[in-house]
Amino acid sequence: DIDHLNLRVQKELVEWLNWLKADIGFDGWRFDFAKGYSADVAKIYIDRSEPSFAVAEIWTSLAYGGDGKPNLNQDQHRQELVNWVDKVGGKEPATTFDFTTKGILNVAVEGELWRLRGTDGKAPGMIGWWPAKAVTFVDNHDTGSTQHMWPFPSDRVMQGYAYILTHPGTPCIFYDHFFDWGLKEEIDRLVSVRTRHGIHNESKLQIIEADADLYLAEIDGKVIVKLGPRYDVGNLIPGGFKVAAHGNDYAVW
């Protein structure tokens, strides 16, 4: 175990981070198991090494109901993520992985897409509150891959990417999905749509529909994304929009 409150430990870790930055060329940090030490300590490391980007892994359990599924209200869960960023400093380059969005998406794509509209009409994850500080993802080396601790439904992974790559927040693509699953072209197409239309971490999200079999949302008035098996949505798509990407139960205009 590392005693992060030990001043010598802090000094040597800061020296190591600055060496990684100056000599090796790294310009961002990922704080593993960030709930294992205080945000005040993380702030020391960020302030004294000045990375251009930093992201924390704060993985805690969602609130679950008696049916074993996540409650609709996950405010306490995303509040914990927001609190960490607040304590580190909202103007700093600090962000957190949006585990709230990950957990809700996992269940939503299994025929419960209504979950993607919170009670306030916004996205139910951290991106609904502070998208500029939320790093969205479908799976990572812990949740998917060989560890398989909280995997996204494997046959619906592209619905997950259609969501995070069109929505506010900073999307993170999982190495396995991109290089090992044969999804490179599909993911590339979505990345291209995001880039071409300038969708960014603070883009404006308007949720048009959130039903069991259909989620439809417009981003910045430029991109529309559909998740779910419902096919006939033409009456909901404004004129002038053309399909730019599509796949199993998702489409982007």
Q: Which residues are catalytic?
A: 32, 57
What are the residue ranges of helices labelled H in the chain? 7-19, 39-49, 75-88, 99-108, 157-164, 175, 184-196
Q: Round to whole Å and give the CA distance between 69 and 218.
A: 27
- Report yes or no: 106 and 153 within 8 Å, Cβ to Cβ: yes
Beta-carbon neighbour count of residue 251 at 10 Å? 19
Strands, DSSP E only, in the chain? Answer: 28-31, 53-56, 94-97, 134-137, 170-172, 205-210, 215-219, 223-227, 245-247, 250-252
